[in-house]
């Protein structure tokens, strides 16, 4: 079936940015013959030259050979947190999660992320049980005995936070330094050290998770708290009762990756990956395009193929899986959640990521007349050819647009279609890389013509009437 969405989106994504958000790109020449039901995915290309990357990976020692083991604390949005996917299942998301995958891909290693409490991240690094710690870590010199630090990948600050009802009590840090106040901070964190330094007379409450701190603030169990600025801003967007009172002075501004002590080859590779990530402006352009449209229209819906990739060939959606198909190609998935998380982090807007792959296949009641006719034609041809003794074939479509649109079923040898890709023509992508051209629209319009005439029962199409036969 070849709906407009199917042609444009492949395993698609829709972002909803206060209605929604995103982009689409691909390349390569068009073919005139279309294979029905064929979706091919190219092997994921690494960030650097394959040979160089393979050699680099071989030189890097990790806790588990071939794997990059990363400890994180998923209570620190937007760095790392749990987000619900389209099936309402919790999945690790956030800036650090995306960066961890980027680093792993860059080094040619399989990513293994282990969630734990924040102090556990520090302990696992110190004992050499993990390769990296990524949890919005500040490269504090006091931690130098337990780990090495990468170059800074994000420059941020520290904040003192309270709720609106108590905001008038706190004009600066000095006003919070009273025995009558309970001040929260995460156990083992820089924020705890800052609480001790700036509010030594207060009752400092050490909690395991930032989510616990936020909950206690909202439930009047804490009067204030020290929280990393980006995290505080993120929670304030979701909980309007939270207020950032002031910045907290801190000599070390920014976040770095904690690297296993003494692993120089890994450190070198991580820093190279960070430099590459910072120099790649593709995602920045995507965010800018979506934000511009959102400002103009107050909503934005974005459709993107899972084949969308960075300029260096890395697939954006490869980050969500280490699985491969029978040909060794990376199975792309999770693009919607990835881009939705980035847009939410960058803009603070309400964003939804929807994978249409299965949803689209099950939406025959929304298909065009052309969809339905060609689907029946394909199935009919397959049965007829099977009865006639044909095997090792795939039913495809031979389309003619010379005088209107016509389509006939055609058999293809599996050897001609298996493990081959058909890319979206580059000339159908706008020069900005964020839309399709008029030529594509002209190509696609015939495919969405006509209304279905299927009998409907309770709002759903009835394709067949089956007789109940009870087994004896």
Q: Which residues of 77-92 are buried (b: 16+ CB within 10 A; e: fewer)?
A: bbbbbebebbeeeebb
Is the whole model's pTM more than 0.85, yes or no? no
The closest alpha carbon to 351, from 12, 18, 14, 13, belongs to 18
Q: Assess whether the previous peptide bond of 380 is cis (omega < 30° from 0).
A: no
Q: Give the β-pairing of 13-17 and 300-304.
A: antiparallel
Please state at what angle helix 95-107 crosses helix 50-59, rounded to 10 degrees: 100
Below-70 pLDDT ranges, the chain: 1-58, 85-86, 252-253, 280-283, 310-315, 317-334, 345, 357-359, 361, 365, 472
Which residues does 224 contact at the CB level (< 8 Å), separation at least 6? 160, 161, 162, 166, 170, 176, 181, 183, 184, 217, 245
The CATH number of the domain covering residues in 158-248 = 3.40.190.10
Strands (E), 164-241: 182-186, 203-207, 224-228
- Is residue 39 classed as helix, strand or coil in its secondary structure? coil
The closest alpha carbon to 308, from 26, 14, 15, 13, belongs to 26
Token duo for residue 329: 């190609």
Residue carrying structure tokens 């009067």: 223
Residue carrying structure tokens 């120089």: 264
Which residues does 462 contact at the CB level (< 8 Å), separation at least 6? 454, 455, 456
Q: Looking at residue 96, what is its pLDDT?
A: 87
Q: What is the DSSP letter of 429?
A: B
The closest alpha carbon to 21, from 431, 432, 311, 297, belongs to 297
Separation CA 101–CA 110 (nearest Å) = 9
Q: Looking at residue 455, what is its pLDDT?
A: 78
* Strands across the sheet containing 393-400: 33-35, 393-400, 406-413
Boundaries of every domain in the chain? 4-45+282-448, 62-155+254-262, 158-248
Q: Looking at residue 12, what is its pLDDT?
A: 24
Separation CA 465–CA 135 (nearest Å) = 56
Q: Looking at residue 220, what is its pLDDT?
A: 94
Strands (E), 166-313: 182-186, 203-207, 224-228, 242-248, 256-259, 300-304
Per the CB < 8 A criterion, the answer to whether 340 and 353 are in contact is yes
Separation CA 256–CA 133 (nearest Å) = 9
Residue 442: is it exposed, middle or buried by C-beta count within 10 angstroms (0-12/13-18/19+)?
exposed
- Is residue 215 classed as helix, strand or coil in its secondary structure? helix
Token duo for residue 25: 């790109």
DSSP symbols for 273-330 = HHHHHHH--HHHHHHHHHHHHHHHHS-EEEEE-TT-B-TTS-BGGGGG---B-TTS-B
Q: Give the β-pairing of 13-17 and 90-93.
A: unpaired
Please state at what angle helix 282-297 crosses helix 335-347, rounded to 10 degrees: 70
Separation CA 370–CA 399 (nearest Å) = 12
Q: Looking at residue 214, what is its pLDDT?
A: 93
The yes or no reply on domain 62-155+254-262 and CATH 3.40.50.720 is no
Per the CB < 8 A criterion, the answer to whether 379 and 323 are in contact is no
Separation CA 13–CA 337 (nearest Å) = 9
Per the CB < 8 A criterion, the answer to whether 222 and 216 are in contact is yes
Residue carrying structure tokens 């924020």: 191
Token duo for residue 53: 């990357």
Same fold, 4-45+282-448 and 158-248: no
Fold exhibited by the domain 4-45+282-448 = Rossmann fold (3.40.50)
Per the CB < 8 A criterion, the answer to whether 68 and 130 are in contact is no
Residue 220: CB atoms within 10 A of its CB come to: 11
């Amino acid at each position: 079936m070849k709906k407009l969405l199917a042609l444009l989106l492949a395993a698609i994504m829709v972002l909803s940015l206060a209605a929604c958000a995103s982009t689409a790109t691909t390349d390569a020449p068009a073919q005139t013959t279309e294979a029905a039901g064929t979706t091919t995915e190219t092997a994921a290309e690494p960030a650097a030259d394959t040979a160089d990357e393979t050699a680099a990976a071989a030189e890097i020692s990790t806790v588990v050979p071939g794997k990059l083991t990363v400890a994180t604390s998923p209570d620190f949005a937007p760095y790392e947190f749990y987000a619900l996917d389209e099936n309402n299942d919790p999945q690790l998301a956030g800036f650090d999660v995306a960066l961890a995958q980027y680093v792993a891909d860059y080094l040619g290693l399989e990513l293994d992320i282990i969630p734990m409490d924040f102090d556990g991240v520090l302990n696992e690094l110190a004992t050499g049980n993990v390769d990296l710690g990524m949890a919005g870590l500040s490269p504090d010199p006091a931690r130098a005995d337990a780990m090495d630090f990468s170059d800074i990948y994000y420059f941020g600050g520290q904040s003192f936070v309270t709720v609106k009802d108590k905001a008038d009590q706190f004009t600066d840090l000095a006003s919070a330094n009273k025995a009558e106040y309970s001040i929260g901070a995460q156990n083992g964190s820089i924020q705890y050290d800052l609480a001790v330094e700036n509010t030594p007379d207060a009752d400092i409450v050490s909690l395991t998770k930032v989510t616990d701190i936020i909950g206690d603030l909202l439930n009047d169990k804490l009067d204030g708290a020290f929280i990393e600025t980006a995290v505080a801003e993120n929670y304030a967007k979701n909980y309007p009762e939270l207020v950032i009172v002031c910045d907290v002075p801190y000599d070390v501004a920014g976040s770095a990756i904690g690297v296993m002590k003494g692993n120089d080859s890994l450190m070198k590779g991580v820093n190279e990956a960070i430099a590459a990530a910072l120099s790649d402006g593709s995602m920045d352009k995507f965010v800018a395009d979506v934000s511009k449209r959102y400002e103009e229209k107050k909503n934005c819906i974005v459709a993107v193929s899972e084949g969308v990739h960075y300029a260096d060939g890395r697939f954006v959606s490869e980050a969500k899986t280490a699985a491969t198909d029978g040909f060794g190609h990376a199975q792309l998935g999770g693009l919607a959640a990835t881009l939705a998380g980035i847009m939410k982090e960058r803009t603070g807007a309400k964003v939804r990521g929807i994978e249409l792959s299965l949803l689209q296949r099950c939406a025959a009641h929304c298909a065009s007349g052309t969809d339905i006719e060609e689907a029946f034609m394909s199935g009919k041809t397959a049965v007829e050819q099977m009865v006639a003794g044909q095997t090792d074939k795939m039913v495809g479509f031979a389309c003619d647009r010379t005088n209107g649109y016509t389509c006939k079923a055609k058999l293809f040898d599996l050897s001609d279609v298996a493990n081959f890709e058909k890319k979206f023509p580059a000339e159908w992508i706008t020069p900005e890389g964020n839309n399709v051209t008029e030529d594509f629209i002209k190509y696609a319009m015939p495919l969405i013509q006509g209304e279905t005439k299927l009998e409907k029962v309770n709002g759903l199409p009835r394709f067949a009437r089956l007789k109940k036969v009870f087994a004896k």
